[in-house]
Structure 1
Amino acid sequence: MGQESLFPSKTYERPTLLFSIHNQYVELILNGKKDVELRRRFGSHGSGCRMLIYATQPIAAVVGHTQIENVDRLPIAELWSRYGKRASITKTDFMRYFDGVDEGCAILLAHPIRYAAPIRLDEMRSTHGLNAPQSYIVLREAHRDLIDHEQG
């Protein structure tokens, strides 16, 4: 049997991502009514990643997290037919968002958790050295306190 550390730490096999999401979609995700997040582009991150949810202004805080189950990159027409309803978006808004690109990404979400104590933007800046991302960012080891927030 190996020697155990006196200071156990959490380890993550997959990265943790911080996403900016408009407030009307944040509520739907946290209430389990929206289980697909759409993006024009998305890196090579995929299933197993944890996604921290930053609610845009006027809330301006990390309000919870969810798990990324899978990422599906598809032509726009197929993306709409497969995931439009689950993404809780109108076809007009969907087409406007994806205007000018041939394909997009459906990020399939599971197990949303709402934080009892959200992390406000001013705390993100002062404590974690982060601004609200334009779309999303990959968090680093330097952001461990933010990554571990409300993990028990």
Structure 2
Amino acid sequence: MKIAGKVFEPLSMSAVDTDAHIGRRLKEIRKLAGLSQAALAVRLNIGQAALSRMENRRDILVSSLRDYLAALGASLRVDAHFEDKAAIVSSLREADFYFEPVDENQLVLPIIGDDLFPPHRDVVFSIKPEYCNKIVDGSKTIELRRRFPMSVPAGTTALIYATSPTRALLGIAVIGQIYRQAPSDIWDAFSSQTCIRRKDFDTYFGDLACGYAIELKHARRLRRPLGLTELRNRFSFEPPQSFLYATPQMREALQYECADIPH
């Protein structure tokens, strides 16, 4: 914690009380900051009696807590701590979110504070040219994958890379719902939206118990396709076998040069 340019070690629960006592912890922080109760009451524009009651409460509104700390020259930050085995940690890793673990056994996500929740990243699909054309003309609205992270949120931008012989990034879409089902159920539900023959569908999924059907919405062509040579030179891009996550630099280039992409 930093107050008025000074860094203080966070108070442990044992340093104050075995029971959570927010007011008493605030009082200790105030003393560390070198302020009297009367001086802080003036900063908060409240009476000293009201401040005294606050410092004796075990439960305080977040807005009051924020104002109290702001008067000390500090900002409020609330983090959610997850152990490494928590499901959310696996989901973030699977989706390739940017996040920094505190250590190998803990993940901290900001709830209140200046730090942002880890942003999701655009997905690049490698797709045969004939299917790319069907996506950008709106006739193919379901993309199939043998594996895909369910944690990718709806609204994620999907970048469409056409494989050989085209070898260029030429389209963009928005990911809608993601369905994880038995291939037979995917076929029954979405065959008309996949633009694929049943024989090719069965060959692709083989004997997998579950596959993925990814809804693609608002598909359109880029104003200017980006060929593989340019992608390599500018973004160190290598075509994925199935999909990969786009770099922020690629997203910026697309936003300013090739298409209006979602923010």
The normalised TM-score by structure 2 is 0.51
Q: Match of 1:150?
A: 259
Opposite residue 70 of structure 1, the aligned amino acid is Q
Higher alpha-carbon deviation: 35-44 or 133-142? 133-142
Pick one of 191, 212, 224 that aligns with 1:117: 224
Q: CA deviation at 1:81?
A: 0.3
Opposite residue 15 of structure 1, the aligned amino acid is R
Pick one of 36, 42, 48 that aligns with 2:142: 36
> Which whole-Å CA distance do the structure 2 matches of 1:82 and 1:101 have between them?
17
Pick one of 65, 69, 75 that aligns with 2:176: 69
Structure whose residues are more often strand by fraction: 1
> Which whole-Å CA distance do the structure 1 matches of 2:148 and 2:253 have between them?
22
Q: Match of 1:5?
A: none
The normalised TM-score by structure 1 is 0.86
Q: Match of 1:84?
A: 191
> Which whole-Å CA distance do the structure 2 matches of 1:101 and 1:146 have between them?
37
Decide whether the 8 Å contact of 1:139 with 1:147 is kept in 2. Answer: no
Q: CA deviation at 1:141?
A: 2.5
Q: CA deviation at 1:144?
A: 3.7
Pick one of 49, 54, 74 that aligns with 2:161: 54
Opposite residue 244 of structure 2, the aligned amino acid is I
Q: CA RMSD in A?
A: 1.7
Does residue 211 of structure 2 align to residue 104 of structure 1? yes
Decide whether the 8 Å contact of 2:141 with 2:194 is kept in 1. Answer: yes
- Give the SS at the match of 2:260: coil
Opposite residue 20 of structure 1, the aligned amino acid is S
> Which whole-Å CA distance do the structure 1 matches of 2:137 and 2:175 have between them?
16
Q: CA deviation at 1:113?
A: 1.4
> Which whole-Å CA distance do the structure 1 matches of 2:218 and 2:238 have between them?
26
Structure 1 residue runs without a partner (length 5+) = 1-11
Structure whose residues are more often helix by fraction: 2
* Larger RCO (CA within 8 A; separation ≥ 6): 1
Aligned length: 141
- Give the SS at the match of 2:207: coil
Structure 2 residue runs without a partner (length 5+) = 1-117
Q: CA deviation at 1:13?
A: 5.0
> Which whole-Å CA distance do the structure 2 matches of 1:140 and 1:116 have between them?
20
Decide whether the 8 Å contact of 1:53 with 1:64 is kept in 2. Answer: yes
Q: How does 1:132-147 map to 2 (within 5 A)?
A: 132-147=239-254
Larger Rg over CA atoms: 2
Identity level (%): 32
